[in-house]
Structure 1
Amino acid sequence: MLKRQVRRTAGSLQPPQSDPPLPVPENKKILVWVGDELLPRDSARVSVFDSVVQGGDAVWEGLRVYDGKVFKLEEHLDRLFDSTKAMAFSNVPSRDWIKDAIFKTLNANGMFNNAHIRLTLTRGKKVTSGMSPAFNLYGCVLIVLAEWKPPVYDNSHGIKLVTATTRRNSPNSVDSKIHHNNLINNILAKIEGNLAQAQDAIMLDQDGFVSETNATNIFMVKKGIVLTPHADYCLPGITRATVMDLVVKENLVLHERRISLSEFHAADEVWTTGTMGELTPVVMIDGREIGDGKIGPVTRQIQNAYKVLTEGLGVPIPRNAES
């Protein structure tokens, strides 16, 4: 009776609302891996005692599926486990167990191409609310959220960026090499980008040099030379590393160094990299046209090389994977 009363009271606080439309309607019926089972989208939840709810205490990876293969799966899992070690997680599931959960999720959803995976590993549920990891006695919780998701930016025409006032985390506070779920800095920068009607926002480091955007790594081209910021304040992205290798293989000169904002304003070409967006041209920063305001030849060259790479590499998804 008490439970019924609580539900009735809680339900009466707000009028019923219809669900908003989804960017990809097919994602309404997806199955999500939570803990050790697959659940329908509307039932996929974690406990209010979970560390990710209590303090954003989790690590994550973004992976993309191309033509029956998971691109750079091993590299993403390497970074995931490095992050769990840096965060002092205990009772971390094995690599094979996580891969099995990924494959089962993709099979259950029939996702073998043009899909994105948000892989999250929380420190787990606590026995009581609080900050201390000593309360985490249940072990980690794995979430495999796979969605039908094309690249999220306009990679054919390019995007606009603005510079945020919110600075990227310093290694003095939270090292960017830990791929953690506490993304408040990035969210604040994204809010600034949204208000300026730009697709994303550039974040500077504590010394005023360009670090990355709120969601991606960033590159520029000047007089045929490709430059990208040091991975001291920015995330050492998997796509970033892949593109750096491609630049060298395409016989272009690559410099990794501190880069000022004015250098980006005066660049011949700029692009961003990330699993969600792949390789995205930037045609304007802070109201300044980049180059002639169109996608440049070096950007197209690396875009094409990246496309060829994704078509050929990846870990094949075992069909109907069973543990």
Structure 2
Amino acid sequence: MIVTEIEEFSEIRVRARAYLCFLLQRYIPNYVPEPSLDNIINALKILKKELPQAEAFYILDKKGMQIIDAISNNSEYRRGKGINRSMRAYYYRAVREKRCILTDPYPSLLSHNLTVTASYPVYDDNKQLAFIICVDISLKDLLKLFHPSSIDSYFGHFTKISYSFFSLALLIVAILLLMKGVGSFFIMAFELRHINIKEIFESTILITLSLAIFDLVKTLFEEEVLGRHKKREASDIHKTMIRFLGSIVIALSIEALMLVFKFAIIDPQKIMFAVYLIGAVTLLLFGLSFYLKSISNIKEEE
């Protein structure tokens, strides 16, 4: 799910940066005479309680050297003093842009998971760089914090389980319809002398509906369970809708044709019901045509 997580991160990046930078600026004032390292460390200890999702807090000097062991709730992460981090994006981007930044996700040396870092440059009253404050937070925890519907959030897991259940239920329905339709064909294959046209039509309808439901299951599972809907092309979604509606139109058309023959033979007075169904199918076709026309207009505008 790494690709999906990165896509979700791109959606909440602005909000995440604004929040993390706000916290850093709130606890660590900038452009003060002779910024105190001890005061910054105390501020980070307070910030650690307010942001328990963070993996580690640490401080770099103006050359990118880590000057304290990381402050963390995890004792295994309380290290790193003396490591040169001048080649890290959270250092050189903060120095270059002269503002609080949020990095892209990268593999953390501490947790070995995808992590993002908010880095905040601290200047003295002469606008000379004194320190760079860094906050590491795992990508999964960041998404849980800012993206409630993320696949990694509790609600996201519940949604995935729910859609998995619905997909399974619909798949069972599709399989049962297919088995019923194909089974009827096999039975008729051994009774060629007694072929029932009505049963052939009914089997065709069952198989067509089975195909439509299976296509719906495929779309639900891919989008809601596997999480591939974020970057899907709009044309793919339209194709799924067209296939589903097309299957319904085909099934109704077959049913209407079957009713025409049935009522024409046994009860001509009821043939109007078949005509009504044909009219409904015609309206569906007009609706589908309008839908296709709307799609083509949108593509031309793009």
TM-score (norm 2): 0.22
Between Structure 1 and Structure 2, which shows a larger proportion of helix residues?
2
Return the index of the structure with the highest Cα Rg: 2
Structure of greater relative contact order (alpha carbons < 8 Å, 6+ residues apart): 1
TM-score (norm 1): 0.21
